[in-house]
Structure 1
């Protein structure tokens, strides 16, 4: 029997889960429980051509995991019937010490809890999910895979903030980077698509989802990334501001009378595309732009401007890019974003084939002319498979 890994991604009000065969890469089932704690909770699961869903209150993460198991059993994908070898947990922030997939024990949980101030929106629900899953499956190995791991060895010039070095050292302040599992997976898949070794390429990877980040990768290793101490830095995102003048924080605290918590909440939840245009779904945003909505147009323009700014900066760092790859929800599905992000860059060897870019295909594909010096790709990310394979590596070690 082929072995499987149950991958869990626990958010504050959701649990995403996928049953994956790490060796074959096959996904046996993929589901989510949303709106945990609300009266209108939703759960859905896809297994091959079968789709099941249910609605009704799911009180907490423990109840959400029970619902997940019930849905898996309903479609004939009980983990224990598919050689369950491990449970893999996505943990966003590994701090300075965790940069390899790690077997979870009580000591690791305590250490990751201490990192909560570095990722207050992400680490606490992840640990809650770990604790619930360990109670439900105490005899199965549980493995933490850290979102920051790929960027652990960023060059010092890229990882270091220009602040008082004693304060930075004492409080572990550096640029950690995030979406690392996706950036590593996509850069490796880009190399495989081209039939070359990752070590031979200079790459820019654009992970554009509700959260968004960009990385510059040379020889298979990252040399820059846009997110920093927290996932707030960098590109304009769905609800997060990305780069802002740090003076804004003290200005709002001193002049507007906002608390640090209110400012942090605003920058995380009421900024970005939603803060400017009132919407995070780019399909709706495009419709509103077509109807003449000026706020939606500004939100899109700011989003694209920041994206182009980072692409230009990373071209300067790399000298030139062999490959630029778009991934995640917006990157994989929004042809207009891809077109506007790269328009007017022929001087840098970057061109798009409009027909290829407009294709509705959902597979890995080239969207640049064969003759262009820089290859532009769309590669669907698969963080769950990457996490499952990381778990397998831990078990095989």
Structure 2
């Protein structure tokens, strides 16, 4: 049984075709510059590749290019889309409406579109992709939507409510929703498997660290709290996002710089974080290189982010009254040994002890804590596409 996984942006479309018999990726690719010009890059598990520039005025043309790559190009892996059992879509924002993944229906599409105000850069693109799928494949292939926010719907009100007038929650749904939930769920499930214990019996902290970052506390088998909030801007500093800060700082700057609300949103989402402090880049590799070369602002950006990560991890240890396992994932979490060492070296008060040599490994699953450590620490490459495929298979199998 083969599942086609889609992660659509406003001008891009990432995809994977996964054989669920062995959970192996048969092919994956990227369509980009949708609405501008159009290009596809496609690779198979056995090393074949196909790339082309082709007009993609909409997502429909992008899907047509994907169909050609998968079924007719020199890097084809199937003869027809009839071999595909279902399509699984990543959806960033499900609000409080979607606590679980579900089949696509007209009503579901409308609701995802309504939630676009909470994720204006993502949900509208997801809807475009779903409708383009329907246009391309009709209704003969079932489609499933998997929400980044679903895993966080178990948070109690004390964790997800903001201390604002309650009427704003009632009128506008202003509360914490979180993000990266599919990744946090996959990684915490993997931790439980590695620990060989029921997930409900382990207190886990998962650190998804990339250009966008979030940390989640998992207790009793479910999400108890997470760092991202009403939008993915909340939490600690990221590649271009500020994370949590005093709102009065923003109103002060807006007044001084004559900024509109949209301008402020752009500053916080696209010009802040590691980029804003370092003045170098939003890419952790570039910032680390600049810091090693003596750039003081790059050094400061690294120190600030690591300190904020440590504070969130420490606060979740307190909130859960302990921790049994900590997992690092994401592009930075999997590939930055120095960051992991900083965090772990400052958690010796709860018994964290790491193996320096194992911690030097990059991008692979490994337990980096020592046998004497009272907290097990892991590096676990996330696999959101596989999590989406598993959900999709489970739903169409009901």
TM-score above 0.5:
yes
- 4+ long deviations beyond 4 Å: none
Deviation sequence 1:53-88 (CA, Å, 0-9, x none): 425364432232222222223222237468311111
Aligned to 2:8: 10
Q: How does 1:46-85 map to 2 (within 5 A)?
A: 46-54=43-51, 56=53, 58-73=56-71, 74=73, 75-78=75-78, 80=80, 83-85=83-85
Aligned to 1:303: 305
Deviation sequence 1:11-47 (CA, Å, 0-9, x none): 12221101113353211112112333445x5532222
Structure 2 CA distance, aligned partners of 1:109 and 1:242? 30
Aligned to 2:222: 221
Structure 2 CA distance, aligned partners of 1:128 and 1:205? 31
CA deviation after TM superposition for structure 1 residue 261, in Å: 1.0
Residue 60 of structure 2 contacts residue 135 of structure 2 at CA under 8 Å; is this kept in 1? no
Q: How does 1:1-397 map to 2 (within 5 A)?
A: 3-38=1-36, 42-54=39-51, 56=53, 58-73=56-71, 74=73, 75-78=75-78, 80=80, 83-138=83-138, 139-277=140-278, 278-360=280-362, 362-397=363-398
| DSSP-derived class of the 1:6 partner | strand
- Residues 36 and 295 (structure 1), Cα distance of their counterparts in 2 relative to 1, 3 Å cut: farther
- Residues 95 and 26 (structure 1), Cα distance of their counterparts in 2 relative to 1, 3 Å cut: same
| DSSP-derived class of the 1:381 partner | coil
Residue 119 of structure 2 contacts residue 231 of structure 2 at CA under 8 Å; is this kept in 1? yes
Structure 2 CA distance, aligned partners of 1:68 and 1:275? 37
Residue 334 of structure 2 contacts residue 364 of structure 2 at CA under 8 Å; is this kept in 1? no
Structure 2 CA distance, aligned partners of 1:25 and 1:342? 33
Structure 2 CA distance, aligned partners of 1:36 and 1:245? 37
- Residues 234 and 79 (structure 1), Cα distance of their counterparts in 2 relative to 1, 3 Å cut: farther
- Residues 299 and 26 (structure 1), Cα distance of their counterparts in 2 relative to 1, 3 Å cut: same
Q: Which moved more, 1:22-31 or 1:380-389?
A: 22-31
Deviation sequence 1:132-183 (CA, Å, 0-9, x none): 1111111211111111001112011101111111221111111111111111
Residue 153 of structure 2 contacts residue 223 of structure 2 at CA under 8 Å; is this kept in 1? no
CA deviation after TM superposition for structure 1 residue 394, in Å: 1.1
Provide the aligned length of Structure 1 versus Structure 2: 393
Give 5+ residue unaligned stretches, structure 2: none
Residue 42 of structure 2 contacts residue 51 of structure 2 at CA under 8 Å; is this kept in 1? no
Residue 4 of structure 1 contacts residue 82 of structure 1 at CA under 8 Å; is this kept in 2? no
Structure 2 CA distance, aligned partners of 1:265 and 1:238? 14
Q: CA RMSD in A?
A: 1.8
Structure 2 CA distance, aligned partners of 1:152 and 1:174? 11
| DSSP-derived class of the 1:231 partner | coil
- Residues 342 and 24 (structure 1), Cα distance of their counterparts in 2 relative to 1, 3 Å cut: same
| DSSP-derived class of the 1:24 partner | coil
Residue 7 of structure 2 contacts residue 90 of structure 2 at CA under 8 Å; is this kept in 1? yes
| DSSP-derived class of the 2:205 partner | strand
Structure 2 CA distance, aligned partners of 1:298 and 1:13? 34
